[in-house]
Amino acid sequence: MGGLDNEIGVYGRCGECNQIVHAELTAALVYCSGCGTTSNLNSLKNARESPVCAKLLQHTLEMSKSLELVAFRGVHNFEAKLLSPFLSRYGMDRDGSPKLLQEMNLGEKFDCGLLANRHFRIKDKQKSVSGSGKDKTVYQSGYLDDTLAIVAEANRLPEALIAAHADPDGHCLVHAISRAISGTQLFWHPLRMSIKDHLQSNLLQYRRLMVNYVEDSEWPVRD
């Protein structure tokens, strides 16, 4: 493929999910928005050169600046936001069909306690993927550097833990927890509901803890 000018691009099918992927001819790695994997350019199936591909690639790159379009494990960030509320009250029956949790005798809402012993291990090549790997803001600011260093030292590893990306949309805490246990933001809504239930059930305790920070008039009135 050498000897061609920079206006030539290359396209082929992802080796993981078979989606068409566009890339620069000189790129060492290619990113698939379908399954969220990053792989070598030579791993593309049926790779071909195309002058038109350069224009398509430019359009794709402009679109991919939105972190909403980033996919991880086949799930885009915006898809996780849309699907998560359904996971709060729906599950799948034995036939793989959606069904209310209550109808399956699993409670009215998803029990996030089932995720208590879960964690997610990210692959090295996925750490640098913007929108799913390391959170750029965290690492640029350095405000978690000391904490991450302590964790790494305790585990005797160069890097035992990373600060993964979490969408800054007002629900970043539950986005971050969901990523830590599954790699995706799919569980942000069930987690948010669980936190709300916990706070409501323990409101008096939190009022005592926050007495120096929150005025009594600011707390919700309970019947």
In this structure, is residue 223 part of a structural domain? no
In this structure, is residue 1 part of a structural domain? no
Q: Which residue has the higher pLDDT, 40 or 154?
A: 154
In this structure, is residue 180 part of a structural domain? yes
CB 81 within 8 A of CB 87: no
Q: With a cut of 50, say whether residue 5 has pLDDT above it.
A: no
Q: What does the alpha-carbon distance between residue 80 and residue 68 come to, in Å, rounded to a whole number?
A: 10
Instruction: Verify that 115 and 153 share a domain, yes or no.
Output: yes
Average pLDDT of the segment spanning 175-194: 88
Q: What does the alpha-carbon distance between residue 217 and residue 166 come to, in Å, rounded to a whole number?
A: 32
Instruction: Verify that 135 and 205 share a domain, yes or no.
Output: yes
Helix, strand and coil percent figures for the chain, each rounded to 5: 40, 15, 45
Instruction: Verify that 83 and 187 share a domain, yes or no.
Output: yes
What is the band of 57 on the pLDDT scale with cuts at 50, 70, 90?
low
Instruction: Verify that 93 and 166 share a domain, yes or no.
Output: yes
Is the C-alpha dihedral spanning 151, 152, 153, 157 positive or negative?
positive
Q: Which residue has the higher pLDDT, 149 or 222?
A: 149
Query: pLDDT for 67-106, tens place per residue?
Result: 666 667 777 778 888 889 999 999 988 888 999 999 999 9
DSSP 34-69: TT--EEEGGGSEEEEEEHHHHHHHHHHHHHTTSGGG
Instruction: Verify that 171 and 207 share a domain, yes or no.
Output: yes
Give the pLDDT score at 52: 54
Instruction: Verify that 83 and 158 share a domain, yes or no.
Output: yes
Q: With a cut of 60, say whether residue 58 has pLDDT above it.
A: no
Instruction: Verify that 38 and 132 share a domain, yes or no.
Output: no
Q: What does the alpha-carbon distance between residue 105 and residue 80 come to, in Å, rounded to a whole number?
A: 25
Amino acid identity at 201: S
Residue-number span of the structural domain to which 60 is assigned = 9-65
Instruction: Verify that 97 and 51 share a domain, yes or no.
Output: no
Give the pLDDT score at 56: 53
Give the pLDDT score at 3: 36
Rank 28-32, 75-79, 105-109, 130-134 by mean pLDDT and report only the highest.
105-109
Structural domain total, the chain: 2
Give the pLDDT score at 63: 44
In this structure, is residue 4 part of a structural domain? no
Last residue of a domain, one of 25, 45, 65: 65
Instruction: Verify that 98 and 188 share a domain, yes or no.
Output: yes
Residue 217 has what DSSP assignment?
G
Instruction: Verify that 123 and 195 share a domain, yes or no.
Output: yes
Instruction: Verify that 18 and 94 share a domain, yes or no.
Output: no
Instruction: Verify that 90 and 48 share a domain, yes or no.
Output: no
Average pLDDT of the segment spanning 120-135: 81
| Token couple for 175 | 């986005």
Average pLDDT of the segment spanning 5-12: 64
Q: Angle at the Cα of 147 (from 145 to 151), degrees rounded to 5?
A: 115
CB 179 within 8 A of CB 165: yes
Last residue of a domain, one of 39, 65, 91: 65
In this structure, is residue 3 part of a structural domain? no
The neighbouring-strand residues paired with 49 are 10
In this structure, is residue 71 part of a structural domain? no
